[in-house]
Chain A
Amino acid sequence: MNILVCAKRVPMTGGTIVLTPDEQAIETRHLGFTISPHEECGVEEAVRLIEAQGGESAVLTLGPAEAEEQLRDAMALGIDRAILLQTDEEYDGQATAAAIVDSIQAEREAGVEYDLIFFGNESADSGNYQVGIRVAHALGWPCVTGVKGVTVAGGRARLEQEAASGRDVYDVPLPAVVTVKEGLNLPRYPSVPGRLRAKRKPLDTRTPSRREAGVEKLRLKLPPGQGKQAEMLGHGPEAAPAVVEVLRRAGLVA
């Protein structure tokens, strides 16, 4: 089996978001970077499936040269190789999907065929809720979203999605696109040998072409109501009566 995982490098914003003066981006000078927890679960699921059934896994990101860090992180967890579609430009959902499809098609011409592609249900930063679905349509593959359970057998995937009172189950033929959510599995931590091996695993850097944005970002802004100062109810256990008073005013206590 051959599995691809798509993941996006995003800043770890911590407690407050600070914007650059031109309001075009988050100020990231003092921040670390990561991928979405959904995508981490995609990485883990791919590694587990390949461990159990054999085959090869790859991770792909569209982003700046520094995104090599996230690709190496994924390889440290057991992904076999990486593809970097290197760009400093921002891509909207449609353009991201198109660039990923171009890459998959180029690989196909070189003889690489995927059985399964994992995406996050939504990207951590832009949350377009669409890249995986658009890629699936371009490839003519089925796509199941928001998946929290994956079983692959006999050329089909049984996929579970959380629903109001239980789980909804889908059963689709491979190849397929699956967008996953955190909770699918509990990702492992990278081991030291895993980190060392990751340094030597193949990373293929390519230059994507960017189609014009259909959703064109003008500027970012912080939502209202930031930085209120909490009313102090007290220190330690002595604050308990004041907490109970808040609960009472909220109608939770008679």
Chain B
Amino acid sequence: MTLVYVEHQDGRPDDVSLQAIALARGLAGGDPLDALVAGPGAAEAAASLGAHGVARVHLADHESLAGHAPVALGRCIAELIERLSPAAVIAAGSERGNEVMAHAAAITELPLAANCIAAEPGDPLTVTRVRWGGSLLEEARVHGRVKLLTVMPHTVEAAETGGGPAEVERFTPALSDADLIVRVVERVVEETGGGVSLADAKFVVSCGRGAGSPEGFAPAEELAALLGGAVGCSRAVTIAGWRSHTDQVGQTGTKIAPEVYLACGISGATQHMAGCKGAKRIIAVNIDPEAPIIANADYAVIGDLHDVIPAITAELRKAGTG
């Protein structure tokens, strides 16, 4: 049996967890697939997993799992490992998927391979996993009596198998007070200001060091507003204090997936590109035709961003946009 830890939002399984199920299904061959769900809406989430090939869902029933409690969730996985001896436990390589699996790995003292994009059955298991936020791949063997892995989001496609409803088994995990010290005690809701978020925007225009100053972003702001998009930036900009880190695209910033990414005055360091791999089309604007980003973009404009961005805005206005 292979166990998948499934995250969900109020009963709707996360896409990234369905992707983890897809990788698990491939790895399990014909072996049964079990899932673990917890928290408010777990029963609804469980009901939808049969369609993805899950035979049995373990529903962790505990009042303390209402808010995020990563140690407790790791403990639930550890308990199922002891009770059911799965061949592997797999979760999404989301922030919380990786966190919960690391707790499970620490409790059981098992190895954990984070952010895999492929796995070949066997003992040891062979995986391909992501390094440097996606700029480099590693082939590795995963040892241990139970193989723990997480699946890099958006690298494996989720698929329905047309399976019938999964059997649901409720269980009450044995949690101690110590397991519940780390839990969300408060959620502070912040006003987003109404604009589209960087992560969700269909159009993103970023500027890098080439913008020259905080004021250098005004044309990008105008263009983003015109297209209902968002403004991003490189790390050179955030460490200079020109923009807030919330605008940073990259390995240690936000991962974006727009239809078009207009990257202006950005050299194209691997750590920046790791954040925009999800973009359908990348247009680079750079004064230097040798800039590395040119070899990673779909389209290029050679020129000064201070001239090119306003010209694009003017052209759109001429064409009747905005």
* Interaction A to B: yes
Please list the residues of chain A having a beta carbon within 8 angstroms of any beta carbon in chain B.
13-17, 26, 36-38, 92-94, 97, 122, 124-130, 133-134, 136-138, 140, 142-146, 160, 163, 165-173, 181-183, 186-187, 213-223, 226-244, 246-247, 250-254
CB distance from B300 to the nearest CB of A (A): 4
Q: How many pairs of A and B residues are in contact by the CB < 8 Å rule?
A: 277
| Cβ-based interface call for B160 (8 A) | no
Q: List 10 A-B contacts (CB under 8 A).
A: A15-B267, A145-B99, A165-B189, A166-B190, A228-B296, A231-B298, A239-B303, A243-B299, A246-B283, A250-B280
- Check A173/B95 contact, CB under 8 A, given A15-B293, A228-B296, A250-B281: no
Q: Are B281 and A243 in contact (CB under 8 A)?
A: no
Instruction: Name A37's contact: one of B203, B252, B321 (CB within 8 Å).
Output: B252
A241–B307 Cα distance when bound, in Å, is 14
A122 to B150, CA, bound (A): 14
B184 pairs with A170, CB closer than 8 A: yes
- Cα–Cα distance between A138 and B102 once the two chains are bound (Å): 13
Q: Which of A186, A214, A215, A236 is B308 in contact with, Cβ under 8 Å?
A: A236
Encode B259-301 as 1/0 by CB contact (under 8 A) with A.
Answer: 1101000011111000000001101100000011111111111
Q: Check B269–A129 contact: CB distance below 8 A.
A: no
- List the B side residues contacting A37 at CB < 8 Å: 235, 252
Could you give, for residues 39-80 of chain B, a 1 whenever the CB lies within 8 Å of some chain A CB and a 0 otherwise?
000000000000000000000000000001011000000000
User: A169, A170, A172: which has the most chain B beta carbons within 10 Å?
Assistant: A170
A246 to B298, CA, bound (A): 10
What residue in chain B is nearest A219 (Cβ atoms)? B139
- Which interface residue of B95, B110, B126, B241 has the most chain A CB atoms within 10 A? B95
Do A214 and B315 touch across chains, with their CB atoms under 8 A apart? no
CB neighbours (8 Å) of B109 from chain A are 94
User: Is B12 located at the chain interface by the 8 A CB criterion?
Assistant: no
**Please, which residues of chain A bring their CB within 8 A of the CB of B311?**
236-240
Q: What CA separation (Å) do A26 and B262 show in the bound complex?
A: 29
The distance in angstroms between the C-alpha atoms of A219 and B253, with both chains bound, is: 27
Assembly CA distance A226 to B314 (angstroms): 34
